[in-house]
């Protein structure tokens, strides 16, 4: 490799991608495109179609029908479970990898490209799922095929579960598989590339995150009702105003600052990678008491703010029944991401206090879309630092691919299917090799995209990582 090419690759952080041969690169591209262009939204899509497409690719690559299964509760919510057979010589339990096939809704009119077309432009791949998380589905299927072509034999089985309804819907695939086919999912631990990953700034690797715990997801429904009437005779008691005022109070009343062992360690380590005021602010919030101005400045960053507190935000509104009538009903959905140690019901009661309006009811919406007067007392799982058998291979691969980027355990600010595997007694860790700029996270949003080189680096990363985890010692 000449010096100029090496310098360019180093600048782009794409040394891993440079090592892919043309056949692997084409395979990865084609699988990624195929997945993006299969609509897997809950409203009109089908994870079964995607699962069957990936099953065919694995079968064509030499996996047996016994080891590739598509199954689910109905014809639209299929899940793929594929087993890569190991030697079994060491008596080790399998490694389970979970990754969801479904994506959130996307409207063509909101995007500059068609969200269900795989578009390459300006060094990026665009499409719904390019970040969350068909990028990882494509990487894992590619690497299963790549390892199979090499006749690689791991020292234990590797199970890949590509599943339905992580983003919503009534047929969560991980939950269904654990309840109905636990034998197919049994493992020493699970990896979930829906979290973790390579944090970059303008393409330059900063650190590699590994998820050690995550926030708890909860939806709450706000309702205001009154008799309504003719719009020519307005009255102060307006359902829309009640909801609007409540949401305005929520906007001005953030939940209190709180650190746990994982987020404290995260800011301690991250401060060494930052410069200037940001680094100083990170150190300042670790003091007792924390510096209020530093906390305020860090809270301006959505990423850092979400690590500092429970967050609750309005995500949907519905009100009124006619343009010329006073509203009889107004409703909003508030979505909360709750810090470990706090329950859903505790947060619901906190919201009631913030809204301070007896005309508004605040109820919990469960995964089956049932609206309940009280929320569960469920709390997020406590932090579990990844063991050496997970961390040491991760650090070795990271050192080889991104030498300047330390591995830092983190709290995932969203929520993932790890909640099901952890509840089932399978320790679960978020590990991904996909690099995203910290200010370009577009998951669930408009014009979702991933750098072309980041995708191929991700292919190389999981190939190396699976080998590092399962090579005979």
Provide the CB-side half-sphere exposure for 130 (13 A, CA).
33
Q: Is the pLDDT of residue 238 over 70?
A: yes
Give Cα separations from 257 to 38, 264, 284 (angstroms).
42, 12, 13
pLDDT at 336: 98
Residues 427, 186 contacting (CB under 8 angstroms): no
pLDDT in tens, 407-416: 999 999 988 9
Beta bridge partners of 365: 219, 371
The residue count of the chain comes to: 473
| Four-CA torsion 182, 183, 184, 189, nearest 10 degrees | 80
Average pLDDT of span 267-282: 96
Reported confidence tier of residue 11, pLDDT bands at 50, 70, 90:
very low
Cα separation, 431 vs 263, whole angstroms:
17
List the structure tokens of 274: 């930052």
Cα separation, 12 vs 202, whole angstroms:
9
- The CA-CA-CA angle for residues 274, 192, 175, to 5°, reads 140
User: Which residue shows structure tokens 């390579």?
Assistant: 198
Q: Is the pLDDT of residue 465 over 70?
A: yes
pLDDT at 473: 57
pLDDT at 417: 96
User: Which residue shows structure tokens 């960053």?
Assistant: 301
pLDDT at 90: 78
pLDDT at 414: 85
Beta bridge partners of 207: 199
Q: Is the pLDDT of residue 267 over 70?
A: yes
List the structure tokens of 199: 């944090």
pLDDT at 248: 98
Average pLDDT of span 259-282: 95
Q: Is the pLDDT of residue 202 over 80?
A: yes
pLDDT at 382: 83
State the pairing for strand pair 79-84/158-163.
Answer: antiparallel
pLDDT at 175: 97
Average pLDDT of span 27-42: 98
Q: Is the pLDDT of residue 3 over 60?
A: no
Reported confidence tier of residue 385, pLDDT bands at 50, 70, 90:
confident
Q: Is the pLDDT of residue 7 over 60?
A: no
Rounded to the nearest integer, the mean pLDDT of the chain is 94
Cα separation, 467 vs 204, whole angstroms:
26
Query: What global pTM score does this model have?
Result: 0.87
Reported confidence tier of residue 384, pLDDT bands at 50, 70, 90:
confident
Reported confidence tier of residue 18, pLDDT bands at 50, 70, 90:
very low
């Amino acid at each position: 490799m000449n010096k100029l090419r090496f310098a360019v690759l180093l600048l782009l952080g794409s040394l891993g991608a440079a090592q892919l041969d043309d056949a692997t690169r084409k395979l990865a591209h084609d699988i990624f495109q195929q997945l993006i262009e299969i609509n897997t939204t809950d409203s009109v899509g089908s994870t079964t179609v995607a699962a069957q497409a990936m099953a065919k690719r694995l079968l064509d690559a030499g996996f047996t029908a016994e080891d590739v299964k598509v199954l689910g509760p109905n014809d639209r919510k299929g899940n793929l479970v594929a087993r890569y057979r190991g030697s079994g010589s060491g008596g080790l339990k399998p490694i389970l990898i979970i990754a969801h096939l479904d994506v959130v809704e996307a409207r063509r009119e909101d995007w500059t490209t068609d969200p269900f077309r795989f578009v390459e432009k300006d060094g990026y791949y665009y499409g719904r799922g390019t970040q969350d998380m068909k990028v990882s589905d494509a990487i894992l299927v590619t690497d299963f095929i790549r390892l199979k072509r090499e006749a690689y034999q791991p020292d234990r089985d590797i199970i890949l579960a590509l599943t339905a309804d992580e983003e919503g819907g009534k047929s969560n695939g991980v939950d269904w598989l654990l309840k109905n086919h636990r034998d197919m999912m049994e493992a020493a631990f699970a990896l979930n590339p829906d979290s973790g990953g390579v944090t970059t700034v303008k393409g330059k690797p900063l650190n590699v995150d590994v998820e050690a715990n995550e926030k708890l997801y909860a939806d709450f429904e706000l309702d205001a009702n009154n008799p309504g009437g003719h719009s020519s005779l307005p009255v102060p008691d307006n359902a829309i105003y009640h909801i609007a005022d409540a949401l305005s109070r929520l906007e001005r009343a953030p939940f209190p600052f709180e650190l746990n062992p994982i987020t404290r360690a995260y800011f301690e380590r991250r401060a060494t990678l930052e410069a200037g005021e940001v680094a100083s602010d990170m150190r300042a919030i670790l003091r007792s008491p924390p510096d209020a101005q530093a906390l305020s400045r860090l809270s301006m960053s959505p990423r850092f703010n979400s690590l500092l507190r429970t967050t609750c935000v309005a995500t949907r509104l519905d009100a009124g029944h006619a343009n010329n009538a006073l509203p009889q009903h107004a409703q909003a959905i508030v979505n909360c991401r709750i810090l470990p140690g706090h329950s859903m019901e505790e947060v619901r009661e906190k919201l009631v206090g913030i809204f301070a309006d007896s005309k508004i009811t605040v109820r919990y919406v469960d995964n089956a879309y049932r609206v309940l007067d009280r929320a569960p007392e469920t709390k997020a799982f406590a932090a579990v630092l990844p063991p050496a058998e997970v961390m040491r291979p991760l650090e070795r691969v990271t050192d080889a691919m991104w030498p300047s980027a330390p591995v830092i355990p983190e709290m995932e600010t969203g929520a993932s299917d790890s909640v099901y595997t952890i509840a089932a007694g399978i320790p679960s860790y978020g590990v991904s090799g996909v690099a995203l700029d910290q200010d370009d996270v577009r998951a669930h949003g408009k014009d979702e995209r991933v750098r072309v080189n980041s995708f191929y680096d991700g292919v190389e990363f999981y190939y190396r990582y699976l080998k590092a985890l399962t090579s005979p010692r």
